[in-house]
């Protein structure tokens, strides 16, 4: 989490709103973000703050491990579709080890065995296939995305094991708990937002996606100057 915050700040310090030309719907997007900010401030964030206070750190780690294990299935498939069989095998091994030895994913022995988690999704797979990102858009409640990532979300939802968990009310409870836990992990990021909130979130999202799509290999814009 700390590493992610450092990357976010670094991206923003070097940002010159180079993504403005990818945002033809800024007027509508700003209104939706204002709505999302209001909903977050009045409902989601207060609950997340309460959760963060009562949940001990060991419990948070178990929750993170559990939900992280669920996305490993999608990681493996997307790595395979991107032509990275070695990484796909790593992801499959992580699922098998953490689901069994790790007691349903509550613990993460795979990492201690040298099998590092990856972070792949179908949007990144489409990027590898050459599908353009498309305009930046903001969705009610769901937040920042792009046209390409909207399509990828529908595919990702079918790769989520929770989708096939019944009864439905239990599944929905787990999904809601996942959202709450994720929001609580982002509380520390609230204090680093500066300047125009809309531009901050837009550029941070698009830069993060570019970072993911290129597996962390981002060109240094100052490289030619030295």
Q: Give the CA diameter of the chain.
A: 60
Q: Residue holding tokens 């929750």?
A: 63
What is the domain partition of the chain in residue ranges? 23-54+122-214, 57-120
Residue 218 has what pLDDT? 61
List of residues 6+ apart from 73 with CB closer than 8 A: 91, 95, 159, 161
Residue 86 has what pLDDT? 97
How many alpha carbons lie under 13 Å from residue 28 in its C-beta half-sphere?
A: 9
The C-alpha atoms of residue 20 and residue 125 are separated, in whole angstroms, by 24
The distance from CA 193 to its chain's CA centroid, rounded to whole angstroms, is: 18
- Give backbone dihedrals phi and psi of 136, rounded to 5 degrees, phi first: -80, 135
List of residues 6+ apart from 129 with CB closer than 8 A: none
The C-alpha atoms of residue 1 and residue 23 are separated, in whole angstroms, by 28
Asked whether residue 1 carries a pLDDT value surpassing 80, the answer given is no
Asked whether residue 221 carries a pLDDT value surpassing 50, the answer given is no
The distance from CA 153 to its chain's CA centroid, rounded to whole angstroms, is: 11
Whether 133 and 155 have beta carbons less than 8 Å apart is answered as no
Residue 20 has what pLDDT? 66
Residue 225 has what pLDDT? 45
Higher pLDDT, 176 or 220: 176
Residue from 181, 210, 120 nearest 156 by CA: 120
- Structure token digits, residue 223: 């490289």
The share of the chain scoring above pLDDT 90, in percent, equals 80
Residue 148 has what pLDDT? 97
The C-alpha atoms of residue 83 and residue 11 are separated, in whole angstroms, by 28
Asked whether residue 9 carries a pLDDT value surpassing 80, the answer given is no
97-144 pLDDT, tens digit per residue, is 999 999 999 999 999 999 999 999 999 999 999 999 999 999 999 999
Section 21-29 average pLDDT = 92
The C-alpha atoms of residue 94 and residue 116 are separated, in whole angstroms, by 8
Residue from 220, 221, 217, 203 nearest 9 by CA: 203
Distances (CA, A) of 60 to 67, 115, 123: 11, 21, 28
Asked whether residue 31 carries a pLDDT value surpassing 60, the answer given is yes
Asked whether residue 3 carries a pLDDT value surpassing 80, the answer given is no
How many alpha carbons lie under 13 Å from residue 63 in its C-beta half-sphere?
A: 20
């Amino acid at each position: 989490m700390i590493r992610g915050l450092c990357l976010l700040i670094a991206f923003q310090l070097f940002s010159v709103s180079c993504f403005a030309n990818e945002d033809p719907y800024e007027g509508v997007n700003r209104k939706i973000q204002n709505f999302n900010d209001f909903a977050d401030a009045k409902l989601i964030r207060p609950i997340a703050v309460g959760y963060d206070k009562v949940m001990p750190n060991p419990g948070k780690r178990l929750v993170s491990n559990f939900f992280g294990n669920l996305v490993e299935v999608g990681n493996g498939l997307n790595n395979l579709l991107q032509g990275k069989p070695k990484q796909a095998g790593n992801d499959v091994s992580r699922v098998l080890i953490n689901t069994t030895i790790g007691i349903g994913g509550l613990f993460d022995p795979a990492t201690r065995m040298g099998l590092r988690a990856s972070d792949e999704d179908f949007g990144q797979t489409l990027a590898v296939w050459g599908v353009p990102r498309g305009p930046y858009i903001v969705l009610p409640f769901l937040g920042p995305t792009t046209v390409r990532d909207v399509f990828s979300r529908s595919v990702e939802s079918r790769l989520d094991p929770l989708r096939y968990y019944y009864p439905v009310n239990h599944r929905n409870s787990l999904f809601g708990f996942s959202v709450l836990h994720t929001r609580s992990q982002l509380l520390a990021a609230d204090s680093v937002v500066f300047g125009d909130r809309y531009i901050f979130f837009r550029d941070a999202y698009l830069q993060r996606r570019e970072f993911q799509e290129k597996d962390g290999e981002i060109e240094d814009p100052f490289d030619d100057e030295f």
